[in-house]
Amino acid sequence: MKKNTFKVMFVIRRNQVNRDGKCSITIRITVNGEYERLNSTLSIEPELWDSKAAKAIGRTQKILDFNKRIEEIRYVLQDHYYELQKTHGYVTAEMVKNAYMGITAKAESLMPIYDEFLAETKKMVGINRSDKTYQKYERCKRRVVEFMKVKYNRTDIPLRELKPKFLTDFAVFLASTYKCRQNTVYKFLQLLRMVIIKAQRDGISFPDPYLSYKMTQEKVDRGYLSEDEVLSIATKDISIPRLDQVRDVFIFACYTGLAYADIAQLRADNIKKMFDGRLWIITHRQKTKTNVNVPLLPTAEKILKKYEGKFIDGVLLPVLSNQKTNAYLKEIADICGIEKNLTFHLARHTFATTMTLGKGVPIESVSKMLGHTNIQTTQIYARITNEKISHDMENLAKNLGNLDF
């Protein structure tokens, strides 16, 4: 860890001359490269100031008293610096400035606010928050504390001292220490931002470090399966029961768009006959608690019938743990000759891209079935395929007809 650097400079404001022909002297406090300005309340004729020596020129009593006052201010600032270092274990230029100005009230700091945020989030688990979301916020807190220990040798920071550089350094820490990729870093910064927003909503006044900090996210091609690839998996003769079951649940997801956690929670009372005489899945997303209503396609209905009455407590499908499911999907990909990285979440993207949008289902309907609250989120899942473009242009060509030249 680098040693703290502390410096006090006295600077004349030559561009601000008062009625007496004098210029004010500003104090510049620098700690570890970051500085704060402070009004010294001193002023002097510009021709009597030695900028290099940072003191007044001359031997008159008035000049001697002036320079003595400068040294007194310097010593007081140094005393504040060393006292703060001893008390807190760290010092910032703003802390020294505030100590000199007599601002000694305890500032609100990040960690108590974060703890309050975690407690509030935990209470909402099962209502409008998932335990997985809570765990993400908890992990983010651990990373922030670890970062502050490494970078600043402390475990907390006053909110008013949070600067954009703190966020930049935290991002570098995540990338270098935990090898986080850009989008993972982005998610950590988003989680921390929610705590900052809570502090602001609680009425705590401090500069928002995110206002002048730009968070960037890489555009990632989420991937999806083509219709042929889905059929290859669905029709493959698989004799191993565990793989057969995982395949069925995966294909069910491809034809319904349901996430892993939502399929795991499906019960018989989630399947209802609706106004159109068809069976629908009526449920809500575990992640966001938004309602999800999806008409059952024949393939999905066939899979449900295959397992009808085989499980206790009204469970509809043989859902294994997420870890085992994704491991077995790798085996299924090998068996079916699919070279893509087959994960369960790929089914949700496949439903959005291949099974619905690619077949002409409006994106508004796709968004509703996925349980999204805005079209922008759906656009992350749904891709316009070349097959869809070809089909649309073929229809356009038929409608336009041929021109005779």
Spans of all domains in the chain: 6-101, 110-201, 227-392
How many Å separate Cα 294 from the centre of its chain? 30
Residue 281 has pLDDT above 50, yes or no: yes
Q: How many CA atoms lie within 13 A of 328 on its CB side?
A: 20
Kindly tell me if the per-residue pLDDT of 344 is higher than 70. Answer: yes
pTM of the model: 0.57
pLDDT at 72 > cutoff 50: yes
pLDDT over threshold 80, residue 383: no
Which pLDDT does position 107 carry in this prediction?
58
- Compute the distance between CA of residue 303 and CA of residue 316 in angstroms, rounded to an integer: 10
What is the helix, strand, coil percentage profile of the chain, to 5? 55, 15, 30
For the chain, what percent of residues have pLDDT higher than 70? 95
Phi then psi for residue 281, to 5 deg, are: -90, 120
Q: How confident is the model at residue 326 (pLDDT cuts 50, 70, 90)?
A: very high
> Side by side, which strands form the sheet with 6-17?
6-17, 23-31, 34-44
Instruction: Say whether pLDDT at 3 is over 50.
Output: yes
Residue 220 has pLDDT above 70, yes or no: no
pLDDT at position 1 is 47
Task: Give me the pLDDT at residue 401, please.
Answer: 65
- Count of CA atoms in the C-beta half-sphere (13 A) of 280: 14
pLDDT tens, residue by residue, 286-312: 877 889 999 999 999 999 999 998 887
Residue 341 in this model has a pLDDT that exceeds 60: yes
Q: Looking at residues 136-151, what average pLDDT do you find?
A: 96
* Mean of all residue pLDDT scores within the chain: 89
Averaged over 363-392, what is the pLDDT? 82
pLDDT tens track for 86-128: 777 778 888 899 888 875 545 588 999 999 999 999 998 877 7
Residues 6+ apart with CB under 8 A from 176: none
Q: How far apart are CA 249 and CA 306, in angstroms?
A: 11
**Quick one: fold of 227-392?**
hpI Integrase; Chain A (1.10.443)
Q: What's at 324, amino acid-wise?
A: K
Mean of the pLDDT values across residues 182-194?
Answer: 95
| 337 pLDDT higher than 70 | yes
Q: Using an 8 Å Cβ cutoff, are 26 and 40 in contact? A: yes
Average pLDDT over residues 333-360: 92
108 or 340: which leads in pLDDT? 340
Instruction: State the pLDDT confidence band at 166, using cuts at 50, 70 and 90.
Output: very high
Q: Where are the alpha helices (DSSP H) in 356-385?
A: 363-370, 375-381
